Amino acid sequence: MKARHLILSTLVLACMPALAPADESSRVALVPGGPHPYFAAWEQAGADAAKDFGLGAADYKVPSKWELGMQNQMLESLVTQGYNAFLIFPGDPVGTVAIADELAGTGAPVMALAGCLKDPSGAKFCMGTDTGNSAYLGTQELLANLDEGAKIVHFTGFLVDPNTQLRIDAVEKAANEGGAEVVQVIADIDAPEPAEEKINAYLAAHADDIDGIVTTAWVPAVVAASALRKIGDKRIKMVGIDHDEVVLEAIADGYVHGTMLQNPYGQGYIGSYVADRLRSGCEVKADAPFASNALTDKFVDSGTVFAGVDDVGDYVASMQAITKDLFEGFESTYLDCAS
Amino acid sequence: MSGRLRDSDWFGPFLVTVLAVVTVTAFSPSFLSPFNVQILLLAISVNAMVAFSQMIIIAIGQMNLSVGAIGGLAAIAFGGMMEVWGLPWPLAAIVALCIGLLAGLANGVLVAMTGISAFIITLASLSIYKGINLGITEAQPFYAIPQAVKSIGNDTMLGPLPWLVLPCILVAVGLWYALERLSIGRAVLAVGGNAHAAELSGISVRRVTMIAHAVSGFLAALAGIMLVARLQIGQPTIGDDWLILSFAAPVIGGAVLSGGRISVAGTFFGVALVAIFTQVLVLFDIDPFLVQIVLGALILWAVGINRYREVRARRQLGVAAP
Amino acid sequence: MAKNDGGRGARISPVRVLLSNEFGLIVLIILFAVIFASVSPAFLSKFSLYALGRTAAVNIMIGFSMMVVIVTGGLNLAVGAIGVGAAMTGGLLMEAFGWPWPLAIAGGLAVGAALGAINGVLIVRSGLHSFIITLATMSIFFGVMIFLTQAQSFRGISPAFTGFGRSKLFDVLSPLLLVSVAVGLLLSVLFRLTALGRELLATGANERAAELSGIRAHRMITVCHVLSGVLAAVAGLMLVARTGAAIPSMAGQLGQDWLLPAFLGPVLGGTLLTGGRLSVLGTFLGSFLVTMLTTGLLLMQVGAFWVQTWLGLLLLFAVLVDMARRSFLSRRKLA
């Protein structure tokens, strides 16, 4: 039945351009807050979605640096360039609300992706990893491998990233529940130079004092995994995040216990699809079963999964499975399509 | 003799560095552990190159705002040539160094030929070089760095001494020798001290300017390449935060911004002080945001002292302060 | 508004007007507007023009902030740091202390003035070049701000204030642009009609001569830095109104992202880096042109990544052309 549903919706979509005037095709823009390896998957996701669903465009547009003003200017320019649907990672959970409202005001559907805007905003909903939950689960996995009273250190991302505070709080909560102590939190190191400097300095000074490392941002995960490998340490247990090769190899070789996978591809793919549906007459259901997080009450979890040494070889399959599930159920769960 | 030592530029920073090391080790003995010494030396080696790059320009009484941009451009050129064109790393390094040299030379030519202040020229070139960097990389780093390069950037050659210390020492000695013994070095200091007088005594200020800027670009490129080796990726944002440090270290080392007076050893100890301080913040879990405040305060303090010494020296010579 | 020429009573020859900076800038603005519109007609859409005006408003303020320091022969590298500091102060006052927004703005402006005063006093007392002083204070001001805020943004900005930043007049004009125009008019009055303005110009033209004719140069330098601080604060507060949040990274690390626009505006507009001469209208037009070029380049899909290169080339070109133009005019004895 799910296959029929899929074929049916694809047929409907295929007919859509024929029914609508030629220049009404969806041109989706996927806009992160700045350059970062996490979003690389969005480019492919957009391209695939454009192909699979016959979109006018689903383009990945990156501001040249992590700066709110740049993202705003880029978004303003994209409107003028004719894009009519926007998937945005907020440069700031509140600072981006203004531009999101303006974009929504032009009639374009706007969705927050991988990071949420603070309610109320013009975004239809937010789809991303439940980062708090992911950090919580990751820390629990870490603690399951450590003794009672363990000391752990937490390396995390940009302070302007809406997810960072959620992660800090979640790790703290998991540590308290697991009888462990978060000795130090080093934030704002989601870039190679500060990460390299701070993580190495920390390990050089305190490696003997800690039992575990939890990293909740891509770059610190990579740098910490490399550092553990460099000092040849397998005593300190570490749980990382995302799927950088360095981290996966370190898991395979035993330096890192595991990683919390996120689903950037799924976010981009499903997001582009939904944007198109919203432009084709669908509405978000008033009573849709959204989840809540600290920022918004219209949250859709794009999925997260722990990958340990047994799963690393196959992580792509795990994420694809989650994406497929989410995709197949999405329209019926969250959208109201009169046509 | 002791008076001479006290008056020399490097002795003060040297003393403070020793004091700092002793104090920190007393609080945290792991500060002098081999791994930590290695980390410190790695940071110092790269930062010293950045500081030397600016120091040369301060010596001729100018400033080079594009040090970071040249470093970043050389860094991604290095990474890109290896990843995209498959060049062997020594060749890629040489080409990247040439790019730095030419970029610096371009600065020098523009300043020397047009007479426009180095500040505005290097502000413009900073944007141009950074822009070329971004245009080529689209802010994506080059990941494929050969193992040999990664090893040079991170491994040690003797005890806790990392390989990266080698270029740093070679450059430091080379600069010292050039400034003390070679005529070009003395010409540089003469131009910085009094360009008009230097011109009158037969030194071509234009030529010296161009050479100094070319050397500055070369050293900035070298710093960029070393950083790629250490970070193990060709990261486009390399150089973005070099501006303050490139001035702080030479100034702490006794440099006078109007030119003509710099100290290689002093600059080196200035770099060491900043590196130790940055580490101390992480070590003692002190708020990392204090770094900026302290760097700025250090600069003010150092230029204040240098100015005081300069005024006092002039007064002793019976010359009015400018 | 022709350049302030110190009352030398120059002949307003047609050649001089045609070669003047301001006229050239107007021509360039029209030229580029035509080019961009022909490539992408949406360039002239209401939304596009509104966004352009709003972004230009901030760049113009930043340009003014640097302009008033350049005119006395100095530099202010701390414009970004002061702007962010003032903006964060405004945000703090509105969110943490619940002040009404006019008072919070006044607080932010006061902080801008104070930071500028610190710069001025340090420069005058030490006798050191404003470059190194403001390089150090840029780091200190930014560091203190980041330390106090712990890099957290203030997101509870009064809705009336943000409404102002987001509102539209006739669907196409941003009130922020009107603020910039008003400030520009005030600055013009200052430099053309008031004694203070003339003294500032004289100090920049020749400090020794100014001292000899009774102007307290030290006082002038401090004043221009205070003014620069206030203008930077206005720019920072405008950004807060526009985004609805006070974010510490709004001007980049140490505020250095503002450096390029801060110089481009005045230099394009004919303000001499050596001091003594400025053009308020020129700075306005120059900053506007730069914003328009950035917007246009983004539109033409030249890639957001190549914009900075073009801006750097533009600065270089502008400085070289200015030099050539002045030597041409002086040879013809027209300037």
What does pLDDT average to over chain B? 88
- Asked if B245 contacts B274 with a C-beta cutoff of 8 angstroms, the reply is yes
| pLDDT of res. B216 | 97
Contact B307 C127 (CB under 8 A): yes
Does the CB of A25 have a partner CB in chain B at under 8 Å?
no
pLDDT digits (tens, 9 = 90+) for A271-294: 999 999 999 888 888 888 898 888
C152 touches chain A (CB under 8 A): yes
Strand ranges (E), chain C:
none
In this prediction, residue B3 has a pLDDT band, given cuts at 50, 70 and 90, of low
- Residues C91 and C69: their CA atoms lie apart, in Å, by 27
| Token pair of C108 as six digits | 């932010």
**A75 contacts in chain C (CB < 8 Å):** none
A49 to chain C nearest CA, in Å? 22
Tell me the pLDDT tens digit for each residue of A145-194: 888 889 999 999 887 777 888 899 999 999 999 889 999 898 888 888 88
Residue B315 CB burial class (10 angstroms; 0-12, 13-18, ≥19)? exposed
Residue labelled with tokens 């221009």:
C224
- Residue identified by tokens 């270089």 is C316
Q: Which of B:35-64 have CB within 8 Å of A?
A: 35-36, 38-39, 43
CA–CA distance, C88 with C288 (Å, rounded to integer): 26
- For residue B322, which residues of chain C lie inside 8 Å, CB to CB? 127
A-chain residues near B279 (CB < 8 A) = 201, 205
Please indicate whether, in this complex, the C-beta atoms of B296 and C307 are within 8 angstroms of each other: no
- B231 CB within 8 Å of a chain A CB: yes
Q: Does A198 touch chain B (CB under 8 A)?
A: yes
Q: Which residues in chain C touch residue A79, judged by CB atoms under 8 angstroms apart?
A: 47-48
**What structural domains and CATH numbers belong to chain C?**
7-30+42-331 (1.10.3470)
Q: Which fold is adopted by the domain B9-19+31-316?
A: ABC transporter involved in vitamin B12 uptake, BtuC (1.10.3470)
Alpha-carbon span B71 to A140, nearest angstrom = 43
CB contact under 8 Å between C153 and A62, yes or no, is no
* pLDDT (0 to 100) of residue C16: 61
Matching residue, tokens 């003794």? A147
Peptide bond into A120 cis (omega under 30): yes
pLDDT surpasses 90 at B7: no
For residue A144, give both structure tokens: 């399951």
- CA B56 – CA B62 distance, rounded (Å): 9
DSSP 8-state code for residue A107 = T
Alpha-carbon torsion (B198, B200, B203, B207), positive or negative = positive
In total, the C-beta contacts within 8 angstroms joining chain B to chain C are 139
CB of A146 within 8 A of CB of A213? no
Q: Which long-range contacts does B163-166 make (Cβ < 8 Å, 24+ apart)? A: B164/B41, B164/B42, B164/B45, B164/B46, B164/B226, B164/B229, B164/B230, B165/B41, B165/B45
Strands, sheet with A212-215, edge to edge from the N-terminal-most edge strand: A181-186, A151-155, A212-215, A237-241, A258-261, A305-308
Sign of CA dihedral B79, B85, B89, B90: negative
* Residues of chain A under the 70 pLDDT cut: 1-23, 339
Chains that touch A (3 or more CB pairs under 8 A): B, C
Residues of C whose CB is below 8 A from A62:
304
Q: How far apart, in whole angstroms, are the C-alpha atoms of residue B275 and residue B273?
A: 5
Question: What's the confidence (pLDDT) of residue C12?
Answer: 58
Residue at B18: amino acid letter: V
SS3 sequence of A275-330? HHHHHCCEEECCCCCCECCCCCCCEEECCCEEEECCCHHHHHHHHHHHHHHHHHHH
Residues 266-325 of chain A whose Cβ lies under 8 A from any Cβ of chain B: none
Give the one of C55, C155, C301 whose C-beta lies nearest to A118's C-beta: C155
Contact C209, C62 (CB under 8 A): no
Chain C residues within an 8 Å CB radius of A65: 252
Specify the residue for token string 């397998």: A234
Q: What are the pLDDT tens digits along chain C (335 aa)?
A: 444 444 444 455 666 665 677 888 898 899 999 999 998 888 888 888 999 999 999 999 999 999 999 998 899 999 999 999 999 999 999 988 888 889 999 999 999 999 999 999 999 988 888 999 999 999 999 999 988 888 788 888 888 888 888 888 887 888 999 999 999 999 999 998 999 998 898 888 888 888 888 888 889 999 999 999 999 999 999 999 988 888 888 887 788 889 989 999 998 888 877 777 888 999 999 999 999 998 888 888 777 788 889 889 988 988 888 788 777 777 876 55
Lowest-confidence pick of B211-215, B254-258, C100-104 = B254-258
Per-residue pLDDT tens digits for B162-193: 889 999 999 999 999 999 899 999 999 999 98
Question: Of C242, C250, C294, which is closest to A98 when you measure between CB atoms?
Answer: C242
Partners of A196 on chain B (C-beta within 8 Å) are 230-231
Mutate to test the interface with C, among B67, B300, B308, B315 (most CBs of C within 10 A): B300
From B218, B2, B225, B184, select the one nearest B92 (Cα to Cα).
B225
Domain ranges of chain B: 9-19+31-316
pTM of the model: 0.86
Do the Cβ atoms of A103 and A122 come closer than 8 Å? Answer: yes
DSSP annotation of A57: E
Give dist(CA C227, CA C68) in Å, integer: 7
